[in-house]
Chains A and B, each alone.
Chain A
Amino acid sequence: MKTGTFKGGLEYGVFSVNEVNTPIEELPPPSEVTIPLKQHKGKECKAVVKKGQEVKIGQVIGEGSGPEEALVHATVSGKVTQVIKRFPDIRGRYVSAVTIESDGKDEWATLPEEKTDYLQKGPEELLSLIEKAGVVDFGIEAVPISSKLSLIKDKSVNTIIVNGIDTEPFLNAYKRLIIEKAQDIAEAIKVLKKVSGVSSIYFAIEDRDAELKDKISSAISGVAELAVLKAKFPQAMDRPLIKAVLEREVPSPYGIPEDIGVSVFGVETVLAILDAVRKGKPVIDRVITITGAINSPKNLRVRIGTPIKDVIGHCQGVSGEVAKVIIGGPLMGLAQYSTEIAVSKETSGIFIQSESDLASISRQKCINCGWCVDVCPMNLLPHIISQYCEANIFEKAEGYGLSYCIECGCCAYVCPAKIPLVHWIKYGKSQLEKLEKEEK
């Protein structure tokens, strides 16, 4: 067992977190799903179904052309009612989407079957199964597994970290997955070893839960080394995570973990890989936590394409006046303007915020208290960067490491003056990009 931590970050003691510890529940298939055709890093997929066509679960409805794209599958059986050109994704950009009206039968195109010989297969064969299942590394980047695996080969990666830490302390889906599927995770790691050819694997969890640690440490012994890290946000992000587990720094601002021979996979991702090779099951659902100002917070297994209003409805609706619906957690999540948005491979949770809990900003000047400096995991001076951005002096801000910022939001969380530091930093980054383009 390994322990470790990184500099800065927020200890969980500072939040008033109500952990959602309910077992993962299956959300009944919705009557209609809208499946975005871009749920991965690369370009949008092309729809391969037409309006009016009958589809079954697991049938491919979108195909990409490049390595950064993953297949998109139907997640309910029924009739395609629409192929929409402009459907808002979680970032507020428009993407194409396919709307399927459920026929209620929930029929599979090919029913997933448990096989036992999957570990005998060669890496090539396994890879093609994973590609067919459209697995991406779940999260906001959503890089397809095939693309990650080719990076592993190209950059001769020798260490993989399987991340069992939820992106934010308010979300508990990963934790529930580990508790409920510890044995499957061990199997999944074996598959990952085989398909990637990497033998040194770490499984990262936080030290806040004894049950979790016991479950996983007995399940993965001999398969992967457990790394128990001090519970802190933003540990689930690649840079702090690799620092905490391996004591190594990913080159910044533009490097990727693979540059130092490390690759990171989420725990839900490795389970999806296992499903793909063991059962031939494509990605049709994700486990998400729904919490915040909601009547019954839950961990739910939700079909991709389910409108978030259905998810909210299943949790007995919201309590009080709702001000924000956030995809992800409250620290890094993206506020949505509509509850028609669909759950996608990029969605890790839904956080509902009521009017009374809204964060405020003020016109108070920075008082130089240095709390943002203490919590910055990138060792920056956020207050100075933000002031330069506010004053439109972007070159100076860059001199203080503007582009190193990973936008974890710790600085804006602790700021006693309630300065929207992340806002100014994002603004500075976009303006700097513009300036650089103009120069060229």
Chain B
Amino acid sequence: MREEKLIVSIPPHIQSAETIPKIMFITAAALIPTAASGIYFFGINAVKVIVIAILSAIVFEAGLQRLMKREITLKDGSALLTGLLFGLILPPTAPWWLIAAGVFFGMLIGKHVYGGLGNNPFNSVAVGWAALQLSYPSYLDISESILGKVKIEGISALVEDYVYFSEQYGVESLEGIGAKLKLLFKLILAWKPMPGEALVDCIGQISPLAIIIGGLFLLWRGYISWHIPVSLLASIILCSILGQISALAVIIGTLAVIIGLLLLWRWKGHLSFLASLILFFVVILFSIIIFKGGEYLYPYVLVQLLSGGTLLAAFFIATDPVTSPTTGQSRIILGVLLGLIVIIGRIWGSWIDPIWFCVLVMNAFTPLIERLTKPKPFGRLKESA
């Protein structure tokens, strides 16, 4: 043994095998079913969009890092993931220059002006999308998609005038649990076009099942925690039900849940989660009881929950580690608030699906949420609190 070669350093002397490139590549792999479903439904156009998005992400990442005289970090996989995600939230009809412009904007304003991966306060995918939505809204138009139809004409039109669910899914009536479950299972597989029209939607938003498979895989690997998906989806359900009553009901209902959560957290640590769940179901029950147009509520909630960017946001974009908070409590608050503003935007806003704007808004709130929910260290004495 060569004495002089012994290394002295601070513990720990071992590390887990998880690395940032591994997280990025595995998250990208979890998107494969989603990308595959998009390609299955949209064909070669979807391939084009995804490939252009990934290639331009890689080119712009390397180019910008070169320009800024930073280390080129293509190997960490974050450019690949950004490009892939960006491709998935575009419609297959997007022209190549639009994709490249969006990726460029996302990379520059969403990431590299702040110093690269880890420093960006806003999700670069959402930043790129927002730039395109504001500059070239006509290219991103999804008003012919299911979410657009529901927004413009209402869910009752979808059921009565278009007979969408009966023609495309063979679900004639929504009476009874059996028919409801049948509709749920069929919708989860994939969204279908309006009768007699071509399919219009974003590439990665067609098959809820594909996204859920990827999301569950990430949950199982521990790369995302359950807090944001669960709270966001629960909040979407809650708010879309309340939204059928009034705007005020949405806001009051959600705030009640959050304030209850915060108060209970201060009052008694882990009980708060249980309590807020109970509160959540009480609100749902209450709203179902006083809601009048009962028969359309179920398909309406399913559209809000499974179509548009909801699931992609819940599993892949709102859970982006860099721009989301770190403690379970703050993640739940983020999810609930994000669901709230998504539904407000979808019902009363002017865009069909403003979810990526909402992600940016919540990104801005992340530091505040984190500060408000700073955990109490182990064994802190009361008087020094």
B118 touching A255, Cβ below 8 Å: no
Given A379-B376, A381-B374, answer yes or no on A426-B321 (Cβ-Cβ < 8 Å): no
The B interface is mostly helix, strand or loop, or mixed, namely: loop
**Contact across chains for A417 and B20 when beta carbons are under 8 A apart:** yes
Q: Is B1 close to A, CB under 8 A?
A: yes
Q: Tell me which of A251, A317, A417 contacts B379 (CB under 8 A).
A: A251
Q: Is the CB of B13 within 8 A of A326?
A: yes
A333: chain B residues at CB < 8 Å are: 11, 13
| Residue of B115, B117, B377 touching A379 (CB-CB under 8 A) | B377
Rounded to whole angstroms, the CA-CA distance of A239 and B380 in the bound complex is: 12
Instruction: Decide if A245 is an interface residue (CB 8 Å cutoff).
Output: no
B6 lies within 8 A of A324 (CB) = yes
Pair A252/B377 contact, Cβ less than 8 Å: yes
> Measured between alpha carbons, how far is A173 from B312 in the docked complex, in Å?
50
Taken together as a complex, chains A and B put the C-alpha atoms of A57 and B12 apart, in Å, by 37
Q: What is the size, in residues, of chain B's interface with A at 8 Å between Cβ atoms?
A: 42
Residues of B within 8 A of A (CB): 1-3, 5-16, 18-20, 22-23, 76, 115-119, 225, 321-327, 374-381
Verify B117–A367 contact, CB threshold 8 A. Answer: yes
Contact pick for A409, options B8, B12, B323, CB 8 Å? B12
> Chain A contacts of B20 at CB under 8 A?
364, 367, 416-417
Q: Decide: A379 near B22, CB < 8 A? Known: A358-B7, A365-B117, A368-B326.
A: no
Q: What's the Cα separation between A324 and B117 when bound, in Å? A: 32
Enumerate chain B residues within 8 angstroms of A422, measured Cβ to Cβ: 10-12
Q: How far is the CB of A386 from chain B (nearest CB, A)?
A: 12
Q: How large is the interface on A (under 10, 10 to 19, 20 to 34, 35 or more residues)?
A: 35 or more
Partner of B8, one of A7, A250, A335, A351: A335
How far, in whole Å, are A400 and B373 apart by their CA atoms in the complex? Answer: 12
Contact with B along A348-361 (1 / 0, CB 8 A): 00010100011110
Checking A309, A357, A381 against B14 with a beta-carbon cut-off of 8 angstroms, the contacting residue is A357
Residues on the A chain within 8 Å of B14, using CB: 15, 330-331, 353, 357, 359, 413
Q: Are B15 and A373 in contact (CB under 8 A)?
A: no
A322 interfacial contact with B, CB 8 Å: yes
Alpha-carbon separation in the docked complex, A383 to B12 (Å): 16
A255-B379 contact given A338-B6, A381-B374, CB 8 Å threshold:
yes
What B residues does A374 contact at CB under 8 A? 225
Could you list 17 A-B pairs, sorted by A, with CB under 8 Å?
A239-B379, A251-B381, A324-B7, A335-B6, A336-B8, A339-B1, A364-B118, A368-B118, A368-B321, A370-B326, A371-B18, A378-B378, A404-B377, A414-B16, A416-B16, A417-B19, A422-B11
Closest to B380 in A: A252
The answer to whether A380 and B377 touch (CB under 8 A), given A367-B20, A368-B322, A413-B15, is yes
Name the 7 nearest CB pairs between A and B, nearest first.
A365-B118, A370-B326, A252-B379, A409-B12, A369-B321, A249-B379, A401-B377
For window 385-440 of A, CB contacts with B under 8 Å fall at 400-401, 404, 407, 409, 412-418, 420, 422-423, 426
Q: Is the C-beta of A139 less than 8 angstroms from some C-beta in chain B?
A: no
B15 x A369 contact (CB < 8 A): no
Contacts of A243 in B (CB 8 A): 378
Task: Map CB proximity to B onto A188-214 as digits: 1 under 8 Å, 0 otherwise.
Answer: 000000000000000000000000000
Nearest CB of A to B8, in Å: 5
Tell whether, in the assembled complex, residue B6 and residue A336 are in contact, meaning their CB atoms are under 8 Å apart. Answer: yes
Which of B22, B115, B381 has the most CB atoms of chain A within a 10 A radius of its CB? B381
A118 interfacial contact with B, CB 8 Å: no
Identity of the chain A residue whose Cβ is nearest the Cβ of B10 in the assembled complex: A423
In the assembled complex, which residues on chain A have CB atoms less than 8 Å from the CB atom of B76?
364
The reply on A94 being an interface residue by CB < 8 A is no
The reply to whether B375 and A381 contact each other, CB–CB distance below 8 Å, is: yes
Q: For residue A380, give the distance in angstroms from its CB to the closest CB of chain B.
A: 6
A366 at the interface (CB under 8 A from B): yes
B10→A426 contact, CB < 8 A:
yes
- On chain B, the residues within 8 Å of A359 by CB distance are 12-15
CB pair B18 A416 closer than 8 Å? yes
Determine the residue in chain B with the shortest Cβ distance to A10. B16
- Taking CB atoms and an 8 Å cut-off, the chain A residues in 296-325 that contact chain B are 309, 312, 317-318, 322-325
Closest B residue by C-beta to A360 = B15
The reply to whether the CB of A49 lies closer than 8 angstroms to some CB of chain B is no
Q: Contact: A322 with B6, CB < 8 Å?
A: yes
For residue B186, give the distance in angstroms from its CB to the closest CB of chain A. Answer: 36
Bound Cα distance from A337 to B5, whole angstroms: 8
* Interfacial chain A residues near B1, Cβ < 8 Å: 309, 312, 317-318, 322, 339
Residue contact A323 to B5, C-beta cutoff 8 Å: yes
The answer to whether A323 touches B6, judged by C-beta atoms less than 8 angstroms apart, is yes
Given A367-B117, A370-B327, A379-B375: A338 and B3 interface contact (C-beta under 8 Å): yes
- Which residues in A have their C-beta under 8 angstroms from that of B15? 359-360, 412-413, 415, 418
Q: Contacts of A322 on B, CB cut-off 8 Å?
A: 1-2, 5-6
Q: Which residue of B lies closest to A322 (CB)?
A: B1
Q: Quick check: is A332 within 8 A (CB to CB) of the other chain?
A: yes
Complex CA–CA separation, A251 to B217 (angstroms): 40
Residues of A within 8 A of B325 (CB): 370
- Within the complex, the shortest CB–CB distance from B240 to chain A, in Å, comes to 29
**Residues on the A chain within 8 Å of B12, using CB:** 330-332, 359, 409, 412-413, 422
**Do residues A367 and B118 form an inter-chain contact, with CB atoms below 8 A?**
yes
Cβ–Cβ contact B8 & A92, under 8 A:
yes
Other A-B contacts than A337-B6, A378-B379, 6 sampled, CB-CB below 8 A, are: A331-B12, A359-B12, A378-B377, A379-B378, A401-B377, A415-B15
Q: What distance in Å separates the Cβ of A340 from its nearest Cβ neighbour in chain B?
A: 8
Q: Which residues of A have CB within 8 Å of B11?
A: 326, 328, 330-335, 407, 409, 412, 422
Inter-chain contacts of A404 with B (CB < 8 A): 377-380
- The one of B3, B377, B379 in contact with A339, judged by C-beta atoms closer than 8 angstroms, is B3
Q: Across the two chains, which residue of chain B brings its CB closest to A309? A: B1
Within 8 Å of chain B (Cβ to Cβ): is A134?
A: no
Q: List, in ascending order, chain B residues with CB within 8 A of A401's CB.
A: 377, 380
Q: Which residues of chain B are near A368, meaning CB under 8 Å?
A: 118, 321-324, 326
B375 touches A324 (CB 8 A): no
Choose from B8, B378, B379 the contact partner of A337 (Cβ within 8 Å): B8
**CA of A2 to CA of B11 in the docked complex: distance in angstroms?**
32
Q: How far is the CA of A365 from the CA of B116 in the complex (A)?
A: 9
Q: Which residue of A lies closest to B71 (CB)?
A: A363
Contact A416 B22 (CB under 8 A): yes
Give every chain B residue within 8 A of A325 (Cβ-Cβ).
6
Most chain B CB within 10 A, of A252, A332, A360, A423, is at A252
Min C-beta distance of A197 to chain B, whole Å: 26
Out of B321, B327, B377, name the residue touching A367 (CB < 8 Å): B321
* Min CB gap B306→A, angstroms: 27
- Cβ-based interface call for A1 (8 A): no
Closest-by-CB residue of A relative to B20 is: A416
Q: Are B374 and A400 in contact (CB under 8 A)?
A: yes
Nearest A-chain residue to B118, judged by Cβ: A365
